[in-house]
């Protein structure tokens, strides 16, 4: 099942996008609706709110006075945290209960305002963020909800910034224009990304790079994309002693590359990667093991091949091709992957040399596989220079 986190700041129009996704066939769990449910009369969370914030938070009929509570918590971060400490666990438990009931062949959307603030986006396969400029959001809150402008701005300030949301966003939905413009974006995302991703997950299919070779100019978005992949994999493998790093060309600012995110997962011993729980955890996160890819080319060629073993996983998201290399921490292959990335970051001349090689090889190669093979002789000659650089700089992983 594809798990999608949907979020956006107050007044961004997140509810509009949630409704569009629901109309397209998604099952949407609305955290705001759940938040209202868990503070209904007779619920433990409501009693805790009355204890923490005082009896005036309750109306004569025993229901929560939301306006009175909002007036206290939104201007005061400490009081807001106190409220979230009460309602957060209740909302999470009820949301998990509802999401567990979603049919396995449906797309599961979690409509959650605080998805970024609470770091919950790392548990979703994809994060959709609905965005609009602050002035537009303020105007909507004043005109449509009747909030005073100062109150509207205080509520916006209490949430994550656009920069924080963009860092977590796999897809940014611009909701500053017409409803039809937003609907057009949502329909495209549904058809081009969500439905194919769900089909890959259900069918156990990797999203593969095209064999038609294409090198791309450096993209500043690669770094954030790599960080999101690393964060999700780390969240999928808690307590297993792993280190997760963005490696490869997309991890080197200013270097042209294939549009592929390479990630290295370090394990204490390679056998840990064969643990069924490890395999299942990465599978749940959207990564499939390729049993035929169990090692890298040793450098130098005379090196002990045992130091170059690995396990390889391919991502299932058709909108972001990801290669996951699981290697033993301290092995030759593990160290070289990190050192090579840092060498290219540190040495502009080497980075330009490697870029020139890529361009020459790409011009002559007829496929991505041929391109990858044709670069190996350069790596063999570059390896001694890489070792010299690590020693000269006292480099360690």
pLDDT 10s digits, 61-81: 999 999 999 999 988 889 999
pLDDT value of residue 332? 96
pLDDT value of residue 330? 95
Q: Is the pLDDT of residue 212 over 90?
A: no
Q: In which element (H, E) is residue 304 found?
A: none
pLDDT value of residue 366? 87
pLDDT value of residue 167? 96
List Cβ neighbours of 135 (8 Å cut-off, separation of 6 or more): none
pLDDT value of residue 246? 98
Report the alpha-carbon distance of residue 339 to residue 69 in Å, rounded.
53
The answer to whether 20 and 182 have CB atoms below 8 angstroms apart is yes
pLDDT value of residue 301? 85
SS3 content of the chain, % helix, strand, coil (to 5): 55, 15, 30
pLDDT tens per residue, range 24-59? 999 999 999 999 999 999 999 999 999 999 999 999
pLDDT value of residue 210? 81
DSSP string, 66-135: HHHHHHHHTT-HHHHHHHHHHHHHHHHHHHHHHHTTS-TTS-EEEE-TTTTTTTGGGGSSEEEEEE--HH
Place of tokens 């089909």: 199
Q: Is the pLDDT of residue 241 over 70?
A: no
CB atoms within 10 A of CB 291: 8
List Cβ neighbours of 277 (8 Å cut-off, separation of 6 or more): none
Residues 306-322 have a mean pLDDT of 96
Place of tokens 């540190």: 346
pLDDT tens per residue, range 139-181? 999 999 999 999 999 989 989 999 999 999 999 999 999 999 9
The answer to whether 129 and 166 have CB atoms below 8 angstroms apart is yes
Q: What's the whole-number average pLDDT of the chain?
A: 95
Q: Percentage of the chain with pLDDT > 90? A: 90
Q: Is the pLDDT of residue 242 over 90?
A: no
pLDDT value of residue 33? 96
Q: Percentage of the chain with pLDDT > 70? A: 99
């Amino acid at each position: 099942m594809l798990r999608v986190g949907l979020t956006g700041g107050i007044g961004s129009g997140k509810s509009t996008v949630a409704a569009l996704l629901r109309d397209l066939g998604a099952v949407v769990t609305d955290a705001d609706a759940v938040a209202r449910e868990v503070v209904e009369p007779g619920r433990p969370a409501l009693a805790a709110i009355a204890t923490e914030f005082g009896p005036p938070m309750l109306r004569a009929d025993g229901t929560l006075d939301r306006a009175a509570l909002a007036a206290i918590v939104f201007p005061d971060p400490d009081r807001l945290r106190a409220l979230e400490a009460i309602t957060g666990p209740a909302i999470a438990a009820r949301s998990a209960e509802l999401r567990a009931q979603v049919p396995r062949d449906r797309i599961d959307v979690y409509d959650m305002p605080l998805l970024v603030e609470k770091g919950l986006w790392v548990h979703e396969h994809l994060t959709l963020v609905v965005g609009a400029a602050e002035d537009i959001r303020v105007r909507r809150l004043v005109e449509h909800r009747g909030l005073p402008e100062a109150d509207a701005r205080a509520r916006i300030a209490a949430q994550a910034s656009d920069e924080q949301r963009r860092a977590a966003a796999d897809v940014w939905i611009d909701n500053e224009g017409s409803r039809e413009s937003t609907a057009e974006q949502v329909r495209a995302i549904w058809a081009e990304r969500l439905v194919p991703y769900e089909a890959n997950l259900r069918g156990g299919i990797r999203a593969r790079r095209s064999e038609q070779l294409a090198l791309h100019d450096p993209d500043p978005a690669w770094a954030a994309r790599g960080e999101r992949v690393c964060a999700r994999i780390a969240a999928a493998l808690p307590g297993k002693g792993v280190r997760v790093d963005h490696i490869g060309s997309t991890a080197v600012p200013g270097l042209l590359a294939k549009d592929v995110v390479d990630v290295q997962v370090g394990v204490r011993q390679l056998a840990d990667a064969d643990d069924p729980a490890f395999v299942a955890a990465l599978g749940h996160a959207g990564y499939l093991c390729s049993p035929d890819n169990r090692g890298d080319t040793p450098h130098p060629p005379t090196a002990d091949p045992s130091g170059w073993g690995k396990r390889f996983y391919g991502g299932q998201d058709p909108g972001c091709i990801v290669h996951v290399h699981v290697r033993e921490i301290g092995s030759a292959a593990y160290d070289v992957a990190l050192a090579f990335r840092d060498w290219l970051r540190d040495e502009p001349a080497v980075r330009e040399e490697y870029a020139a090689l890529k361009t020459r090889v790409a011009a002559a190669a007829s496929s991505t596989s041929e391109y990858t093979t044709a670069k190996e002789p350069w790596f063999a000659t570059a390896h001694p220079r890489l070792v010299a650089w690590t020693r000269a700089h006292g480099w360690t992983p």
